[in-house]
A and B are shown apart, each in its own frame.
Chain A
Amino acid sequence: MTAGYIEMWRLVAPEVIVVITALCVLSADLAWLRGAEARVRSMVATLLSVAGCAAAIGWILRAPLTVSFGDGVLVLGPVAQHVQIALLALTMLTVLLASGGDFTRHISEYLALMLLATVGMMLLVSTQNLLLIFLALELLSLSLYVLAAFDKRSERSAEAALKYFLFGAISAAFLLFGFSLLYGVSNSTNLGTIANMLHGAPLDPLLLVAIMMTLVGLGFKVAAVPFHFWAPDVYQGAPASSAALIASGSKVAGFFILYQVLVLGLAGAKGSSAWHGYAAGWMPVVAIVAALSMVLGNLVAIAQTSVRRLLAYSAIGHAGYMLLTILAHTNQSFSALLYYAITYALTVLGAFGVVAVVERVTGGDTLAHFAGLSRRAPLVSLCMLVFMLSLAGIPPLAGFFGKFYVFASALNADHELLWLVVLAIAMSAVSLYYYLKVLKSIYVGEPAGEAPVRVPVVQQVVLAVIALGVVVLGCVPSLLLRWL
């Protein structure tokens, strides 16, 4: 508590490293590369960013911490740090995938924003203080808004960003309001203290309002129904790598913090979502949100012809599955949440990488544009096969084990969650249909042209690495579980 600023800086060293990297990227480009061609600028920026992230990872690995600083301002433990490593890794991969994009000349600004968004994510997972949560969330969101708008050639991008911004701003307002009410009720901004204050206290209307508002704010972040309306348009309009980051890293961070807020902070107000034992609190609400997300996300995805929108709606569905772990609120389910979120993020990142490749070659992302891809780009198609099947939950891929772990931990924690688990499994079965549609197009469809597609080596390697990761994590999940 009385540790000095040095101490604090040491605690946030990884974030600092990433910030410095962002600044380096900006300044390097500004200072020396204004005249260089785009390819060189891109390469330098990418290398710098990757190096910076790697350095941050290295720092975390070298100096593991378990500490709580300030009034819950910085709370680090092995799990949080490992999640930070995962976030950094995801960013690295996104940066590498973005290197092939040609939608902007301002590549350094783009990557810098990405890094700043990453900082926001890293802060999100290392805090239990309401104020810092909001700060980190805003840092993340603002970066993402701009990232979404970065493709100036496309009006869709601008529209997406605007929608994202508007939704996001309103949700942020809700969140802030909710947080302030929470503070009012508990007289503290520390989640732990809030929990203590609420423990045993009756549920007063102000608290309920606070909970609802918090849920709105955070629900927006994870794209749960009914706060999901931004997702399809943003996923479709934003440049591929931005969408990838939105879909992957920010989801992980978003779920992490949602779990913390609800399970840690609002533990006293959870109520019950049991089939026969309803009790007011956030649990019934989250249960309904989860159910709606699962159903709506999967059912609407069936009708999509654009792969990006399909991924958006499927993301809503997956959000629903992940909310199950929050309902279970045990350590095991938290571990399940993180495993699911990280592997999901990885998979979706890869999927967007493939979408980027296809868009560059064929100019669109509808199912028809994917037709016959397996003949023209076998490696990329194979990777997409892995990603789609993992999302569907086919073993031995990570997505299957994630779902199994989530469902098992949910049922293990509370038998009454059976109805949600059944619904989840049913919707999961439905989801196979639209994932297979994509694969059908790739493998069964006839290609428009016979020429093999030239994919840059970097993209191929990254996609292959991600696919391999998904397979390995599915076969030997303990590799990841150990760290969670």
Chain B
Amino acid sequence: MLAWTIYISFGGALVLMLLPKGGVRAARVVALLAALAGLAIAVADFARRPSGELVTVVQVSWIRSLGLEYHLAADGISLTLVLLTGIVAVAGVLFSWNIEQRANEFFAFYLALIGGVYGVFLSFDLLLLFVFYEIAIVPKYFLIAIWGSTRREYAAMKLALYSFVGSAMVLIGLIAAYVVAGARTMDLVQLSQFPFPVHFQMWAFPLVFVGFGILAGLWPFHTWAPTGHVAAPTAASMLLAGVVMKLGAYGCLRVAMMLFPRGLDPWGFHVLGLGSWREVFALLALIGIVYGAMVALVQKDFKFVIGYSSVSHMGFVLLGLMTLQQIGLDGAVLQMFSHGVLAGLLFAVVGRMVYDRTHTRDLTELSKMSLGKVLPFAAATFVLAGMASIGLPGFSGFVAELQVLIGTWRSFPVFVVIAGVGIVIGIAYTWRAMQMAFFGASHNSSVGSAAYPPISIPERIAAMLLLAASIVVGLYPQLLLRVIIPALHSPMFDGLWKGGVR
């Protein structure tokens, strides 16, 4: 059933490509239906599933001579991320309701991207996962290059090339793993049981981790993210920050960590005080948290603030992964969901609600417009989303970051303090952005009543959908944790727990 999320998305993209040129309304409807169908399937499957064990959806032989299978399956982690994709996809379509220029191509690329993302989360054959991963690159390029704003062509190319380089690195590791394991199979479950030689894992792990990490915004390979997010049109930014960056993190967990767990073991010697890849990547993640936050604090462009905050939040995900604690990994997956929803919401407010109306993202200019009075819904949404992204309890970010911090405390106690500093800076830049953009003192009260189009119904629905997702998970995180925790206990992750700390 879950496989239909992929098929419907691609089918929708195909239909949209064939629509006549002027059919904007038809394009929107088709896109919305496809996205809703995907979400409905995801929710239905999520509700039916009692716990997070692996359930195979489709498994047929693809290229028998090479042992490649078309194997789709879902465990708790996949389900969570598929659910996230469904939610953000629907919200993205709703927020793109106002696209007029070449609308059917826009939604076609959008749905193709969604289809690729669903595919990655559901693939359990390594090559199939890679195929979907790469499929997702091309629509991103076009979405940004055609419908984007600031320096869009440069940003699009940068994003495409970074992603491709990352996936090239993954491909090397992937082929090497395939060959070393006897060139019989690419099945993730089987490969996770295969005892790769330790020295092989020692170089395969960082290669694949960095390859995926590039897309996840691992510092210092994150530079595509702020440029890309800013240049992209709203729906694309939502998808990029909300879902695509999670592709990278998912790859880090599902491929790098699951297949090459011995790569995390201590080297036996120390370089600059670091004794294993685990410490290296934990440190990089930590730097990402603080760096992203600090740079966000000094941005003049509203969207850049959010872009850098994405880098900072993804740092939490990666840090959680490196703790190798059950609770840290739980937190990392939960943060993937939480940040996905919140990043989508924040970009939607900045891009769609504010920029599309005021045509400026400069915070100083915005502070003269007293948007808090003129666009109250946008202000309220941003306040709530900002609070959620700070990590206020009651929203999804709190539990996720709490779990990551607890895991970090057990593995790298000193890092907790620095991560805490990152959170505090997070409060500062969110506060600053909120103040300047919405509650700037209006010197000229007559300016404040500029006639901006009111926030439309699709925007309201989408905003409430995303907020509801964050609040529901924030108040009752067990909803997701009940599938995530068992998924991390599955035999596939055994290698991770054997050497690593509980």
Residues of A near any B CB (own CB < 8 A): 374, 382, 389, 394-396, 400, 404-405, 407-408, 411-412, 415, 418, 421-422, 425-426, 428-429, 432-433, 436, 439-440, 443-444, 476-478, 481
Known: A422-B172, A443-B142, A481-B65. 16 other contacts (CB 8 A): A382-B17, A395-B134, A405-B66, A407-B171, A411-B175, A412-B183, A421-B172, A425-B168, A426-B168, A429-B165, A429-B168, A432-B164, A436-B157, A444-B145, A444-B146, A481-B63
30 sampled A-B residue pairs with Cβ under 8 A: A382-B17, A395-B131, A395-B132, A395-B134, A395-B135, A400-B131, A400-B134, A404-B127, A407-B175, A408-B179, A411-B175, A411-B176, A421-B172, A421-B175, A422-B172, A425-B171, A425-B172, A429-B161, A429-B167, A429-B168, A432-B161, A436-B160, A440-B145, A443-B142, A443-B145, A444-B142, A444-B145, A476-B62, A478-B62, A481-B63
Give the dominant DSSP class at A's interface.
Answer: helix
Closest A residue to B137 by beta carbon equals A394
Closest A residue to B65 by beta carbon equals A481
Residues of B near any A CB (own CB < 8 A): 17, 62-66, 105, 127, 130-132, 134-135, 137-138, 141-142, 145-146, 153, 156-157, 160-161, 164-165, 167-168, 171-172, 175-176, 178-179, 183
Q: How far does the Cβ of A87 sit from chain B's closest Cβ, in whole Å?
A: 23
The residues of B that contact A389 with a CB separation of less than 8 Å are: 138
The residues of B that contact A405 with a CB separation of less than 8 Å are: 66
The residues of B that contact A476 with a CB separation of less than 8 Å are: 62
Closest B residue to A401 by beta carbon equals B63
Q: How far does the Cβ of A44 sit from chain B's closest Cβ, in whole Å?
A: 35
Q: How far does the Cβ of A420 sit from chain B's closest Cβ, in whole Å?
A: 11
Q: In whole angstroms, what is the CA distance A425 to B174 when docked?
A: 12
Which of A382, A421, A439, A478 touches B65 (beta carbons < 8 Å)? Answer: A478
Q: In whole angstroms, what is the CA distance A396 to B127 when docked?
A: 11
Contact B135 A396 (CB under 8 A): yes
Closest 6 CB pairs of A and B: A395-B131, A429-B168, A411-B179, A444-B145, A425-B168, A432-B164
Q: How far does the Cβ of B229 sit from chain A's closest Cβ, in whole Å?
A: 19
Q: How far does the Cβ of B426 sit from chain A's closest Cβ, in whole Å?
A: 34
Contact A396 B171 (CB under 8 A): no
Closest B residue to A336 by beta carbon equals B66
Q: In whole angstroms, what is the CA distance A443 to B144 when docked?
A: 12
The residues of B that contact A477 with a CB separation of less than 8 Å are: 63
Q: How far does the Cβ of A211 sit from chain B's closest Cβ, in whole Å?
A: 29
Contact B17 A395 (CB under 8 A): no
Closest B residue to A407 by beta carbon equals B175
The residues of A that contact B105 with a CB separation of less than 8 Å are: 374
The residues of B that contact A481 with a CB separation of less than 8 Å are: 63, 65
Contact A478 B64 (CB under 8 A): yes
Q: In whole angstroms, what is the CA distance A478 to B183 when docked?
A: 17
Closest B residue to A392 by beta carbon equals B164
Closest B residue to A477 by beta carbon equals B63
Contact A408-B131, Cβ < 8 Å, known A428-B168, A444-B153, A478-B64: no
Contact A418 B161 (CB under 8 A): no
The residues of A that contact B62 with a CB separation of less than 8 Å are: 476, 478
Q: In whole angstroms, what is the CA distance A415 to B141 when docked?
A: 35
The residues of B that contact A415 with a CB separation of less than 8 Å are: 179
Contact A408-B183, Cβ < 8 Å, known A394-B134, A443-B142: yes
The residues of B that contact A412 with a CB separation of less than 8 Å are: 179, 183
Q: How far does the Cβ of B52 sit from chain A's closest Cβ, in whole Å?
A: 29
The residues of A that contact B135 with a CB separation of less than 8 Å are: 394-396
Closest B residue to A389 by beta carbon equals B138
The residues of B that contact A429 with a CB separation of less than 8 Å are: 161, 164-165, 167-168
The residues of A that contact B171 with a CB separation of less than 8 Å are: 404, 407, 425
Contact B161 A433 (CB under 8 A): yes
Q: In whole angstroms, what is the CA distance A245 to B16 when docked?
A: 35
Q: In whole angstroms, what is the CA distance A395 to B146 when docked?
A: 22
Which of A382, A395, A433 touches B130 (beta carbons < 8 Å)? Answer: A395
Which of A394, A411, A421 touches B138 (beta carbons < 8 Å)? Answer: A394
Closest B residue to A418 by beta carbon equals B176
Q: In whole angstroms, what is the CA distance A418 to B172 when docked?
A: 9
Q: How far does the Cβ of B176 sit from chain A's closest Cβ, in whole Å?
A: 7
Q: How far does the Cβ of A403 sit from chain B's closest Cβ, in whole Å?
A: 9
The residues of A that contact B17 with a CB separation of less than 8 Å are: 382
Q: In whole angstroms, what is the CA distance A440 to B156 when docked?
A: 10
Q: In whole angstroms, what is the CA distance A433 to B183 when docked?
A: 31
Which one of A394, A422, A444 has the greatest number of beta carbons of chain B within 10 Å? A444
Q: How far does the Cβ of A184 sit from chain B's closest Cβ, in whole Å?
A: 40
Q: In whole angstroms, what is the CA distance A407 to B173 when docked?
A: 12
Closest B residue to A432 by beta carbon equals B164
Q: In whole angstroms, what is the CA distance A478 to B61 when docked?
A: 10
The residues of B that contact A407 with a CB separation of less than 8 Å are: 171, 175
Closest B residue to A429 by beta carbon equals B168
The residues of B that contact A425 with a CB separation of less than 8 Å are: 168, 171-172
Contact A404 B175 (CB under 8 A): yes
The residues of B that contact A436 with a CB separation of less than 8 Å are: 141, 157, 160
Q: In whole angstroms, what is the CA distance A146 to B178 when docked?
A: 47
Q: In whole angstroms, what is the CA distance A30 to B412 when docked?
A: 86
Q: In whole angstroms, what is the CA distance A478 to B65 when docked?
A: 8
The residues of A that contact B141 with a CB separation of less than 8 Å are: 436, 439
Contact B161 A408 (CB under 8 A): no
Which one of A394, A404, A477 has the greatest number of beta carbons of chain B within 10 Å? A404
The residues of A that contact B134 with a CB separation of less than 8 Å are: 394-395, 400
Contact B175 A408 (CB under 8 A): yes
Q: How far does the Cβ of A272 sit from chain B's closest Cβ, in whole Å?
A: 18
Contact B175 A443 (CB under 8 A): no
Q: How far does the Cβ of B12 sit from chain A's closest Cβ, in whole Å?
A: 17
Q: In whole angstroms, what is the CA distance A478 to B172 when docked?
A: 23
The residues of B that contact A421 with a CB separation of less than 8 Å are: 172, 175
Closest A residue to B102 by beta carbon equals A375
Contact A408-B178, Cβ < 8 Å, known A382-B17, A389-B138: yes
Q: In whole angstroms, what is the CA distance A481 to B156 when docked?
A: 36
Closest B residue to A403 by beta carbon equals B171
The residues of A that contact B132 with a CB separation of less than 8 Å are: 395
Q: How far does the Cβ of B347 sit from chain A's closest Cβ, in whole Å?
A: 22
The residues of A that contact B130 with a CB separation of less than 8 Å are: 395
Q: How far does the Cβ of A368 sit from chain B's closest Cβ, in whole Å?
A: 15
Q: In whole angstroms, what is the CA distance A432 to B137 when docked?
A: 11
Q: How far does the Cβ of A337 sit from chain B's closest Cβ, in whole Å?
A: 15
Q: In whole angstroms, what is the CA distance A400 to B178 when docked?
A: 16
Q: How far does the Cβ of B187 sit from chain A's closest Cβ, in whole Å?
A: 15
Q: In whole angstroms, what is the CA distance A369 to B160 when docked?
A: 24
The residues of A that contact B164 with a CB separation of less than 8 Å are: 429, 432
Q: In whole angstroms, what is the CA distance A422 to B204 when docked?
A: 13
Closest A residue to B176 by beta carbon equals A411
The residues of A that contact B138 with a CB separation of less than 8 Å are: 389, 394
Q: In whole angstroms, what is the CA distance A418 to B171 when docked?
A: 12
Q: In whole angstroms, what is the CA distance A294 to B161 when docked?
A: 18
Q: In whole angstroms, what is the CA distance A71 to B171 when docked?
A: 44
Contact A443 B146 (CB under 8 A): yes
Q: In whole angstroms, what is the CA distance A429 to B134 when docked?
A: 11
Closest B residue to A413 by beta carbon equals B179
Closest A residue to B134 by beta carbon equals A395
Q: How far does the Cβ of B479 sit from chain A's closest Cβ, in whole Å?
A: 34
Closest A residue to B157 by beta carbon equals A436
Q: In whole angstroms, what is the CA distance A404 to B129 when docked?
A: 14
Closest A residue to B186 by beta carbon equals A408
The residues of A that contact B160 with a CB separation of less than 8 Å are: 432, 436
Closest B residue to A388 by beta carbon equals B138
Q: In whole angstroms, what is the CA distance A418 to B204 when docked?
A: 13
The residues of A that contact B65 with a CB separation of less than 8 Å are: 478, 481
The residues of A that contact B175 with a CB separation of less than 8 Å are: 404, 407-408, 411, 421
Q: In whole angstroms, what is the CA distance A396 to B172 when docked?
A: 18
Q: In whole angstroms, what is the CA distance A338 to B321 when docked?
A: 43
Q: In whole angstroms, what is the CA distance A241 to B450 when docked?
A: 61
The residues of A that contact B145 with a CB separation of less than 8 Å are: 440, 443-444
Q: In whole angstroms, what is the CA distance A395 to B175 when docked?
A: 15
